[in-house]
Structure 1
Amino acid sequence: MLGNFTYYNPCRLHFGPDAVSKLADELAEYGPTVVLVYGGGSIKRSGLYDQVTTMLRAAGKTVAEISGVMSNPTADKLREGAKVARDANADLLLAVGGGSVIDYAKAVAVSAWCDDDPWEKYFLRMEAPDNRLIPVGNILTMSGTGSEMNAGSVISNPQQKLKIGHVFGPELIPRFAIVNPELTFTVPDYQMRAGIFDAFNHIQEQYFSGDDDNTSDYVAEALMRSLVTSSLVAVADPADYEARSNISWVCTWALNTLLGKGKATDWEVHMIGQAIGAVTDAAHGMTLSAVAPAYYRHIMPYGLHKFVRFAVEVWDVRPEGKTDEQVACEGIEAMEAWMDRIGVVRRVSELGLTPDMYDDVVKGTFLLEGGYKKLTPDEVRAILVASA
């Protein structure tokens, strides 16, 4: 482990089939007004909405609502929600849904009392909060993003063809998260698969960096192996509780800030994927699966030692009698075979991305340091071409 760091995560997480019952205890810690944040109505069809609103009423809360949060929340929707929360003088934002809903709630939390335009301030200028913040709690219904236990928020601006994530400080990490894996059973199969690869790539983004012997990398390998095993069970039987509970737990640990401590991190697959999402509105996890193999083949020569380790430790590739390049390539091939088995998108064309959109994707891709190679715009384009 290199360098100095501070680890702090204030989120209290309740896990298991009875986790929602813990909401009553959490509500007692907040003032009288709760803004309920949710998406397109699936929580009403499942009965979760009635369960939660009954608990809110029993706790004596005044409830306002922000509904209709889309899978890629927009800047316009953020402004709308910020006004609702401010007008209600919210004491708590309760996000009930998947990562997009929770991301959105965090953006509303930092924007409601912001006198500037929140898109400009927090997502273009990337400024730190200097205004009143609203606490956030969540009930997770889809595993994948890890948003339930981190300070990240991703917002899209379709007019500007941008999709930008801002990782705020620990003050924006949800105060509590309720994770009942049974709630994820209602998620459409496509979204379950997208969430699985999203979490897998979260781990990869923190794994494929650095040359030191780092404890986080050993944890990352165990999480990837667990996710691969459980994903195959869940795809065959989506109602297998053991598999879905393991997936939920891995997804949380994949991005709750632990794995990235004491090391550099990459995030370039996410930057390309978010740029694709900005112009196609595609499911986030699928934008990552479409470009990850081409990206990793591109940077493999610059971090060959880690790709060899990935092949051996995650995919059980036997290295005897092979060059490092052969072992590393077998690891990527094994990853691709698993991706095919769980049924994720493998080509950007499947997302509706056409060559005339490549300029917008290249322009919208933030080029980051921290991985084994900082890309150039031409290399981003080459990865898109290789992923077509």
Structure 2
Amino acid sequence: MLGNFSYSNPTKLYFGEDSLNYLNEELPKYGKNVQLAYGGGSIKKNGIYDKVMEILKANGKNVFEDGGVMPNPTVEKLYEGVKIAREHKVDLILAVGGGSVCDYAKAVSISVHCEEDPWEKYYLRMEDVDNEIIPVGCVLTMVGTGSEMNGGSVITNHETKLKIGHVFGENVFPKFSILNPTFTFTLPKYQMTAGFFDIMSHILEQYFSGEDDSTSDYIMEGLLKSLIHSSRTAIKNPADYEARSNIMWIATWALNTLVAKGKTTDWEVHMIGQSIGAYTNATHGMTLSAVSLPYYRFLLPYGLQKFKRYAVNVWDVNPDGKTDEETAEEGLSCMESYMKELGLVMNIRELGVTEEMLPGIADGTFVMEGGYKVLTHDDIITILKKSM
């Protein structure tokens, strides 16, 4: 294990079919005014909204609705949420939805008492939070981001064509999160599979870094094998509780900071994907799937031994009689077959990207330094072209 680190995760999780009942234990800890953040209204169609509202009312809460949170929350929506929170002096922000709603709730929570423009302070200057934070709780209805147990929050500014994620400290983590796998059953297939790949990408971003014998890598290999198995089951039967519960749990542990310990981590796939999202507003998980294989094939020579290990330990590639390069490339071929099996987007043109956008997407891509190669602008252009 590399370096020195500390570990703390203050988020309390309630998991299982009856987990929503535990909202009754959490709500009395907070004041009367609750800001209820949710997305496009699917929670009203599937009955989750009514269940949550019943519990909120039973606990004597004043509820101020903040609906319409989009899949890629915008800075304009952030300002709208801050206005609601300030006007009603909210004591708790309850996010009911997927990762975007959780991200949004955290962004609002840190911005309500911020005396500056939160976009400038927290997303452009990447400063720490030094003001009061409104507590956040989550009721998860879609898996993928791990936002239910971390400090990450991604906001999009379409005017400047920037989509920026800021990973805040444990003071911004949700105070509690409720994870009922049955709440994910009605998700459309496109969103479900995008979430599956978001989970995989989170793991790979942390896995493809470092050369030491790290316990974190062994954990990630196990998470990946479980994800591959359960996602194949879920594609055939989205209401398979065992598969969906496993996937929900994997998603949380993929990005709740545990497996990053002792790692340098990469995150370049996310940086490229987020820049694509700023231009196209495409579904996050699909921006990742569209660029991952071109990126990893580009990266393979610089991290050959880890790619070989990935092929053998995750995809069960037999290395006998093969060069390290052949073994590693076979692993990526197995990954490609799996991605096509799930029906993931495999090129950025399908997301609306044109040749004319490539320089701007490259300009908007943050360059990370924790992976096997620090990309140049020309490298990013090369990867984008191979992703077309």
SS of the counterpart of 1:20? Answer: helix
Q: Which structure 2 residues correspond to residues 261-280 of structure 1 after superposition, within 5 A? A: 261-280=261-280
In structure 2, distance between residues paired with 1:360 and 1:7: 38
What is the letter of the counterpart of residue 240 of structure 1?
A: D
What is the letter of the counterpart of residue 77 of structure 2?
A: K
What is the letter of the counterpart of residue 206 of structure 2?
A: Q
2:138 paired residue number: 138
1:96 paired residue number: 96
Deviations 1:306-347 (A, max 9, x none): 000000000000000100000000000000000011110000
Q: Which structure 2 residues correspond to residues 190-209 of structure 1 after superposition, within 5 A? A: 190-209=190-209
2:56 paired residue number: 56
Q: Which structure 2 residues correspond to residues 347-366 of structure 1 after superposition, within 5 A? A: 347-366=347-366
2:250 pairs with 1:250: yes
RMSD (Å) for aligned C-alpha atoms: 0.6
1:120 paired residue number: 120
Query: How far off its partner does 1:90 sit?
Result: 1.1
Query: How far off its partner does 1:88 sit?
Result: 1.3
In structure 1, distance between residues paired with 2:169 and 2:364: 24
In structure 1, distance between residues paired with 2:259 and 2:361: 28
2:219 paired residue number: 219
In structure 1, distance between residues paired with 2:376 and 2:199: 26
In structure 2, distance between residues paired with 1:84 and 1:298: 46
SS of the counterpart of 1:186? Answer: coil
Q: Which structure 2 residues correspond to residues 258-337 of structure 1 after superposition, within 5 A? A: 258-337=258-337
In structure 2, distance between residues paired with 1:34 and 1:14: 20
With normalisation by structure 1, the TM-score equals: 0.99
In structure 2, distance between residues paired with 1:256 and 1:320: 36
Deviations 1:235-255 (A, max 9, x none): 111111111111111011100
What is the letter of the counterpart of residue 190 of structure 1?
A: Y
What is the letter of the counterpart of residue 19 of structure 2?
A: A
SS of the counterpart of 1:294? Answer: helix
Query: How far off its partner does 1:28 sit?
Result: 1.2
What is the letter of the counterpart of residue 167 of structure 2?
A: V
Deviations 1:325-376 (A, max 9, x none): 0000000000000001111000001101111111111011000100000101
SS of the counterpart of 2:185? Answer: helix
Query: How far off its partner does 1:184 sit?
Result: 0.3
Deviations 1:278-320 (A, max 9, x none): 0000000000000000000001111100000000000000000
Q: After TM superposition, what 4+ stretches of structure 1 lie above 6 angstroms from structure 2? A: none
What is the letter of the counterpart of residue 348 of structure 2?
A: V
In structure 1, distance between residues paired with 2:62 and 2:15: 26
In structure 1, distance between residues paired with 2:3 and 2:354: 43
Query: How far off its partner does 1:83 sit?
Result: 1.1
SS of the counterpart of 1:28? Answer: helix
In structure 1, distance between residues paired with 2:157 and 2:188: 25
2:46 paired residue number: 46
Task: Give % identity.
Answer: 61
Gaps of 5+ in 1: none
Query: How far off its partner does 1:10 sit?
Result: 0.4
In structure 2, distance between residues paired with 1:161 and 1:46: 34
In structure 2, distance between residues paired with 1:148 and 1:269: 21
With normalisation by structure 2, the TM-score equals: 0.99
Deviations 1:124-150 (A, max 9, x none): 111111111000000000010100000
In structure 2, distance between residues paired with 1:303 and 1:375: 14
2:147 paired residue number: 147
Gaps of 5+ in 2: none
SS of the counterpart of 2:29? Answer: coil
Deviations 1:158-196 (A, max 9, x none): 010000000000001001000000000111110000000
